[in-house]
Structure 1
Amino acid sequence: MARMISGPAIGWRIVQGQWDLAAPALAVSAASDWLDGLAARKLDQQSVLGSYLDPIADKVLIGSVTIALTKAGSLPVALAFVIVGRDVGLVAGGALMRARQLGWRWPGAAEFFRLGGGTAAAPVSPLLISKINTVLQLGLVGGCALQGLLGWPSGEALLSLGMLTAGTTIWSAAAYARAFLAAGGKQAPVGGSAIAGGSLPALPRPSRGKRGARVKQ
């Protein structure tokens, strides 16, 4: 939940050119996400609800920062469209599919997300390519924030990372579509999860107030 709140706040700092506040806050958010996941696995405290909310929280954080970086001139619109558009499409598509399965009625959150007993209560897992894509997205937005704060990394390095991120974003979207079609429409991806229950099969600048380097197209 902290990432859902911190994402828009960090984005606002970026738009205001406050890189000295945005960059550290983004680093803390990314680190806390990793530490939370590690602790949950080590202590065996992973929850079904958490397996749904975690990927959505990641998308809120990355999406907010991506839009802000585009507004600040640090990311091209086309790249932001690929990143945000893919996530919005997955979440919206999953929600619509689940709504259709329920006859377009609202049975309550527990039933909608299938958090009850039985096999539907099993936690869902993101595809491997989606995990890789999330790491690259965080690296890209973090790199842009660092460039705004320290003037490093270079625009060329960010361009290369941006192209790699765009490629894995498209690849992950295609992988989810393929897995969904293979399941006969019984599962709906939602940002690394399946909203209809069950998991999808895994497939092989230097001062405050200044803009970061633009990742040119």
Structure 2
Amino acid sequence: MTLANQLTLLRVALIPVFVLVFYLPYQWSYMASAIIFAAAAATDWLDGYLARKLNQSTPFGAFLDPVADKLMVATALVLLVGLHKSAWFTIAAAVIIGREIAVSALREWMAELGKRGSVAVSYIGKIKTTAQIAAIIVLLAFDVREYPLMETVGYILLYIAAALTLWSMVMYLRAAWPTLMGEEGSGKS
């Protein structure tokens, strides 16, 4: 078990801790849940860095890392949907979670065809992830009843992330479109 894989497993193990802290009936639970989420996000960067730097990339890590990321983000968004009780928030969260499911399925299908490289993570996906993590941390860290400005900042970041989510999904679908439509090698475009 490599250090990178241990960090990824730690990220998964933090999910129930994150949920429990989120629901604690104390004012400090907002900041504590944001810190746990931020720590999980940091391990996402760190495990990838270590896997590359120490040449410790493994098939298990390649599988588990994106799963851990999606589990943590989806869990955070579901918790925040319950807290914010807003159609606008729920729409953005549904877009983000729905895209993650769709792109994961697309990548799996393309990998079965030996074409995973055509739907590899793009630069826009990295920017989307950064905006998404920043939005979630802001929305977790502050009680929106006491800090309405931070709620606004969090919503703006969340909508930026949702827009980038849609944009990156369109890019992945365009890259895979010829394969999806069975047009490869047929001369059609």
Asked whether 1:52 is paired with 2:68, we answer no
Task: Give the SS at the match of 2:84.
Answer: coil
**1:85 aligned partner:** 98
Q: In the TM superposition, what are the counterparts of 1:23-172 in structure 2 within 5 Å?
A: 23-73=34-84, 76-95=89-108, 97=109, 125-148=120-143, 151=147, 154-172=150-168
* Percent identical residues: 28
TM-score of the superposed pair, with normalisation by structure 2: 0.72
Please, which moves more after superposition, 53-62 or 74-83? 74-83
CA contact (8 A) 1:8 1:61 kept: no
1:44-65 per-residue CA deviation (whole Å, 9 max, x = no partner) reads 2223442332222111111111
TM-score of the superposed pair, with normalisation by structure 1: 0.64
Cα distance, 1:80 vs structure 2: 0.9
1:59-92 per-residue CA deviation (whole Å, 9 max, x = no partner) reads 1111111110111117711111111111122234
Distance 1:23-1:166 versus aligned 2 partners, 3 A rule: same
Distance 1:73-1:152 versus aligned 2 partners, 3 A rule: closer
Structure 2: which 5+ residue stretches go unaligned? 1-8, 182-189
Report the residue type matching 1:157 in the other structure: V
**2:22 aligned partner:** 14
Q: Which has the higher contact order (CA 8 A, sep 6+)?
A: 1
Q: RMSD over aligned Cα, in angstroms?
A: 3.3
**1:209 aligned partner:** none
Equivalent pairs, count = 166
Cα distance, 1:12 vs structure 2: 4.1
CA contact (8 A) 2:30 2:140 kept: yes
Task: Give the SS at the match of 1:72.
Answer: helix
